[in-house]
Structure 1
Amino acid sequence: MRYRILSLVPLLALPLLGGANDLPDERTSPSVSVEMREATRRIGRSINLGNALEAPVDGEWGLTIRKSHLVSIRDAGFTAVRIPVRWSAHVRRTPRQQIDEKFLSRVDSVIDAALENGLAVILNVHHFEEMYRDPARHEPTLHAIWRQLAAHYKTYDDRLMFELLNEPHDRLDAQTWNAVSSRLIRTVRERDCNRILIIGPARWNDPDLFPSLELPPEDRRLIATFHYYSPFEFTHQGASWVDDSEQWIGTKWSTNSPSAAQIKRDFAQVAQWGSQQGRPILLGEFGTRRQADARSRIAWTRYVRQMAEEHGFAWAYWEFGSDEFGICELPGLRWDEKMRAALLGH
């Protein structure tokens, strides 16, 4: 989720760059293995536990994850949770850069509760702002984080998956991110050669940049991810962190909107890239602010979800229970049933 935007460039509203000629010949392309198809199925229909552990301090943004939340998520019909975590705020500023044990235990408790309730888990590194601004200086910290996490969770089964970094952007451009992510994969593989890893393109996991994403061809335990919030003026209307977004308040959306055809083209292009690269796809974030017109919000959510499922993508809605994008009222665990139906087909 974009929380540090100073001015809007609605990149996700642009047509996807490149075309079929930029991609490998299908006759020589690897296929997605049965095992990785099963991993994608396990993620399936997921939801983000946003505005919780990625806050500077757990609970500071108004949401503290509890076991009852995970039970409710399971009972609602979701199959997995994506857990955004701001690990960089909990690393000791010592040469070993150890993760604070108390915080790590807190994350353990959330992961364990999710797994105990039959939910697969995606664990990521979220809001590492320093890394985005100065990759060369802060890459060692990112490696230190993943060395510890890979070793700490090595005995967990394959329902736990790692997403190496949320929404690389700023100075972490496509070329730099390709180099950094390649090194991060090696760091994790030195300690856990089988863990499923999730990696997306630069520029906020922009699907336009899939053609520039370089993944090691020999590592087939990778899932490619992207985020989708187009049209941005609709999904982020009134967002306090986006300049001039109050001008968009009242923007509506329907399947007759011109952007509906663009969404369809965008998802088809992502599917083509995934097929020709032999990579399963995760739509790791998509969502609309609660301030949007309710009927429009439901229509957009259903349409994007359907586009993902038509192409065989797993997905994770942004998000569970905050007052920004959430679809469950807290406290009380009262789901927005129309939004739940838009996502789960009820």
Structure 2
Amino acid sequence: MKKKIIVHCLFLLISTFSVSAQTKWGKGFAFKQNKKMGRGVNIIGYDPLWKDSTKAIMKDEHFELIKKAGFSNVRIVISPFKFSMNDSTYTINPNFFISLDWAVKTALKNKLIAIVDFHEHNAMQKDPIATKPKLLAMWKQIAEHCKHYPKEVLFEIANEPNMKPEVWNNIHSEAYKIIRQSNPKRTLIIGTINGNQIKHLKDLTLPEDDRNIIVAIHYYSPIQFTHQGAPWSVKNKDLSGIEWTQSDNEMQAVKLDFEIAQEWSKKYNRPLTLGEFGAYEKADMASRVKWTNYVARQAERNSWSWSYWQFDSDFILYDMKSQAWVEPIKNALIP
């Protein structure tokens, strides 16, 4: 009888310790990671380096410039679907990992947090169920490949999952389990559906006992302003001349959106990262500067990390042709 009591007491002690450790982890670690992420920028999503490293536009020195400018993270945009070597096993071409390793290691070398962002939303939204096995198989390979990287490397399960909430909750739950097998302590980023919109935070279901998760939202509101003239934006590609003057009503609209997100964050004790925001080049520069600065400062007031969209290609922060910062945007992000 005594033996049973002792065993039971030990079990209770171990259980209490485990819960306490998990609670301690939950109260601090993901929030600390998010604080370290701070200010950042999306990189290399459309760089030719993925197909041919000799044609890379982004070089080692650009990571140095990003760090010196005052940024703390880079969100590495990856599109692994293009590197599938086999339709049954979805084996990823080794060349993909050469480029990924270079980006991650160069970020770490420059003391930048590296976010590995699975950026296949266009393919996934066409048929989420059909692409699910491919995503899971590829995450298994990526997670296994990256398992020895330090805690400064984070995994974002999927960018802008444009699908029904129940479908996304099922997909990210399965991806989560696969990643946790090889990366039990890796900080993960899981975003909301339909463009990572704030209004869909309420639809996100997360593993309650795992607090090492940061939740991603994106912000491009008002879309008529931020996406005017953008050729891929069907409803806004023909718009022009729309300004953002930082009027009381315009600022209040941003504040109200961010308050919804912040209330959710506090209620569920989950840190938030603003994984994308930006205004397309067809908007006038004065309006872009005001909007960009205001959004970034509001995010910081809420203690969110952020990653501007994006370093080059479009919405650009850095002009690769002239090898110079777009100073008004850089100064709007980091005054």
TM (norm. structure 1) is 0.85
- Which consecutive unaligned segments of at least 5 residues does structure 1 have? 1-28
User: Could you tell me whether the CA contact under 8 Å between 1:327 and 1:339 is conserved in 2?
Assistant: yes
Output the CA distance in 1 between the equivalents of 2:309 and 2:104.
18
Answer yes or no: is 1:296 the counterpart of 2:287: yes
Aligned pairs for 1:5-154 (under 5 A) are 33-52=27-46, 57=51, 64-154=57-147
Answer yes or no: is 1:268 the counterpart of 2:268: no
Amino acid at match of 1:166: N
Output the CA distance in 2 between the equivalents of 1:94 and 1:238.
37
Amino acid at match of 1:252: E
Once the two structures are TM-superposed, the CA of residue 244 in structure 1 deviates from its matched residue by: 4.8
Output the CA distance in 1 between the equivalents of 2:289 and 2:43.
20
Instruction: Indicate how the Cα distance of structure 1 residues 146 and 209 shifts in structure 2: closer, same or farther if over 3 A, else same.
Output: same
Once the two structures are TM-superposed, the CA of residue 96 in structure 1 deviates from its matched residue by: 2.6
Once the two structures are TM-superposed, the CA of residue 318 in structure 1 deviates from its matched residue by: 0.4
Amino acid at match of 2:315: F
Partner residue in 1 for 2:15: none
String of CA shifts for 1:199-255, please: whole Å, max 9, x gaps. 111111111100111001011110001110000011011001122534421110021
Once the two structures are TM-superposed, the CA of residue 94 in structure 1 deviates from its matched residue by: 4.3
Structure with bigger gyration radius:
2
Answer yes or no: is 1:217 the counterpart of 2:211: no
- How many matched pairs? 312
String of CA shifts for 1:134-178, please: whole Å, max 9, x gaps. 222221111111111111111110100000001011xx2111101
Partner residue in 2 for 1:280: 271
String of CA shifts for 1:26-69, please: whole Å, max 9, x gaps. xxx9995222221011210000115425998469xx97322121
After superposition, the CA RMSD in angstroms is: 2.1
Give SS of 1:166's match: coil
Partner residue in 1 for 2:234: 243
Once the two structures are TM-superposed, the CA of residue 321 in structure 1 deviates from its matched residue by: 1.5
Output the CA distance in 2 between the equivalents of 1:246 and 1:96.
39
Output the CA distance in 2 between the equivalents of 1:137 and 1:118.
38
Once the two structures are TM-superposed, the CA of residue 91 in structure 1 deviates from its matched residue by: 1.4
Counterpart among 177, 180, 183 of residue 171 in structure 2: 180
Instruction: Indicate how the Cα distance of structure 1 residues 338 and 128 shifts in structure 2: closer, same or farther if over 3 A, else same.
Output: closer
Output the CA distance in 2 between the equivalents of 1:109 and 1:146.
18
User: Could you tell me whether the CA contact under 8 Å between 1:226 and 1:282 is conserved in 2?
Assistant: yes
Give SS of 1:162's match: strand
Output the CA distance in 1 between the equivalents of 2:50 and 2:126.
17
Output the CA distance in 2 between the equivalents of 1:57 and 1:292.
32
Output the CA distance in 2 between the equivalents of 1:63 and 1:55.
4
Once the two structures are TM-superposed, the CA of residue 258 in structure 1 deviates from its matched residue by: 2.8
Output the CA distance in 2 between the equivalents of 1:102 and 1:246.
36
Instruction: Indicate how the Cα distance of structure 1 residues 249 and 32 shifts in structure 2: closer, same or farther if over 3 A, else same.
Output: farther
Relative to its length, the structure with more helix (as a share) is 2
Output the CA distance in 2 between the equivalents of 1:257 and 1:234.
16
Partner residue in 1 for 2:190: 199
Give SS of 1:123's match: strand
Amino acid at match of 1:341: N
**Which structure is higher in RCO with an 8 Å CA cutoff and minimum separation 6?**
1
Counterpart among 315, 319, 323 of residue 333 in structure 1: 323
User: Could you tell me whether the CA contact under 8 Å between 1:88 and 1:128 is conserved in 2?
Assistant: no
TM (norm. structure 2) is 0.88
Deviates more, 1:235-244 or 1:217-226: 235-244
Aligned pairs for 1:155-166 (under 5 A) are 155-166=148-159
User: Could you tell me whether the CA contact under 8 Å between 1:207 and 1:226 is conserved in 2?
Assistant: yes
Output the CA distance in 2 between the equivalents of 1:249 and 1:50.
28
